[in-house]
Structure 1
């Protein structure tokens, strides 16, 4: 199986658009289409369906995606086994469209000479275990969960406080507001499917709900960002929180609104975690880049839970 085709398939699946995948891979959109067509012929199935939004995985594409990722991981491990001291810097960014992913893209543009391997792990326990085992070099997390401090051998530095915005459909009661206060959100339903108990983001939103009297609902399965945007656009009674740096694309007819939240502004505290004895030569460059580019934290008029490490 041609690994370039597999890598292109994974990139297109993450991006949701062939054009964006081409930009990230540094090839033409025609090359992306040709590689995926070659892969589809070799497998004998369709992997994508073209839509007005871009490209969506078929059922076969969804089934193949985890195996494609494993193929790429195996190929990387095989190459690294005969490339002493040359393993790519491996960083966990949680998801492809959130702020840490953007920070890593900026780092790659600033340091194209550094090989990167970006992965997406589920929760902080999984990420910390991977850091301690050497499977990854660093992870972006909210640092801690109440009652579960970081192990002593894990270092962290807070690199970005990302403001949360309220995302509403055009018929929502607050859709016309230029900004909203946390007090104004009391009594409004904020729908966030996919919040998993025990994760750092679940702890964050539980504290926000308790402190400001918010109604945050995590009911229903998480069908992904497109399904969430469709529901918010069509349901006047629902809104959701979204990070200011989260990349979203929706059909023009949705009429969605991204509204700043103030008084105070809730910010999600992204920190970089790594093992104190990690020897990867590119890790100091990443830390220096983030210190210079990501900005400070703890600004006046912002809010984070009390358990967030202030450093």
Structure 2
């Protein structure tokens, strides 16, 4: 059903004059008559009776009027739901316990009036495609992995360099250290079953291994962070890397240690991605918030792979 004809019908019903309806809609009286006639053909009934005073609703017109008003209200709500600034800002944070989630929680605390829709997409190709299609407004990623440049219509800005920490159980040889150097980690088994070939974090750790001669094992199924913590706590020979802003909770009996890594400190570079033509006003607010609160980028004594985009 053509909404213009429905809108014209409601205007004519409210004014009781085709001429006044035409003036209200900024069309000709002939256009009003044609629209009403088209709607009557669609519905198969007469909606108006012409009188000396103008146009009066028939019984069928009276029955249709409240439904016509509801059609117009639904149409207005549908348009408003996708109008920039009227729908929630949709952002991909990859995982619930990572640094990106912490950044978005801080943004929400600073801007509680902005509606948010937080999603978690696994790989960067899916995230970039969602940004380009408008399915999401932004994504936090480490960009750009070797040989995988971003499309020209995707913008990015580096917002956080997250230091890596060594996570060990209480019986690990390094458990008592206040900090460990990259050189001290050589020869120790670092277990990270969550590394998936082809992901941006796999590219990051491949370069870390090549640069510092580390031993990182990605063997075994990935049962999630709880199982990882259980295994590291019970296995003196294993340790793992953990982002300094990753939020984890473990039983007190695990006795796990989070140990800073130095000389240099490896940092994981988080960037925000968005489509250059995205008009959502809250996206600009998010970018301004991240720019104002960002810290620890390109500081002395840190390491990132050579392919990481500059700030």
TM-score (norm 1): 0.74
**SS of match in other structure, 2:205:** helix
Contact kept, 8 Å, 1:159 with 1:296, in 2: the verdict is no
Whole-angstrom CA distance in 1 between matches of 2:169 and 2:90: 38
Map 1:168-183 → 2, pairs under 5 A = 168-183=168-183
**Deviation (angstroms), 1:290:** 0.3
Aligned equivalent of 1:83, options 81, 84, 93: 81
Whole-angstrom CA distance in 2 between matches of 1:130 and 1:258: 35
Does residue 130 of structure 1 match 2:130? Answer: yes
Whole-angstrom CA distance in 1 between matches of 2:232 and 2:285: 40
**Deviation (angstroms), 1:83:** 2.3
Whole-angstrom CA distance in 1 between matches of 2:220 and 2:251: 23
Does residue 260 of structure 1 match 2:268? Answer: no
1:290 counterpart residue number: 290
2:145 counterpart residue number: 145
**Aligned-residue CA RMSD (Å):** 1.1
1:100 counterpart residue number: 100
1:226 counterpart residue number: 226
Whole-angstrom CA distance in 2 between matches of 1:109 and 1:228: 31
Contact kept, 8 Å, 1:80 with 1:87, in 2: the verdict is no
Whole-angstrom CA distance in 2 between matches of 1:296 and 1:288: 17
1:208 counterpart residue number: 208
Whole-angstrom CA distance in 2 between matches of 1:234 and 1:276: 48
2:29 counterpart residue number: none
- Listed as ranges, the gaps of 5+ residues in structure 2 are 1-76
Whole-angstrom CA distance in 1 between matches of 2:89 and 2:179: 40
**Deviation (angstroms), 1:206:** 0.5
User: How has the CA–CA distance of structure 1 residues 284 and 212 changed in structure 2, closer, same or farther, with 3 Å as cutoff?
Assistant: same
Whole-angstrom CA distance in 2 between matches of 1:285 and 1:233: 42
**SS of match in other structure, 1:83:** helix
User: How has the CA–CA distance of structure 1 residues 281 and 194 changed in structure 2, closer, same or farther, with 3 Å as cutoff?
Assistant: same
**SS of match in other structure, 1:206:** helix
Contact kept, 8 Å, 1:93 with 1:120, in 2: the verdict is yes
2:274 counterpart residue number: 274
Whole-angstrom CA distance in 2 between matches of 1:250 and 1:176: 19
Provide the aligned length of Structure 1 versus Structure 2.
Answer: 233
1:39-83 CA-to-partner distances (Å, cap 9, x unmatched) read xxxxxxxxxxxxxxxxxxxxxxxxxxxxxxxxxxxxxxxx87662
Where has structure 1 moved over 2 Å in runs of 4 or more? 79-84
**SS of match in other structure, 1:289:** helix
- Listed as ranges, the gaps of 5+ residues in structure 1 are 1-78
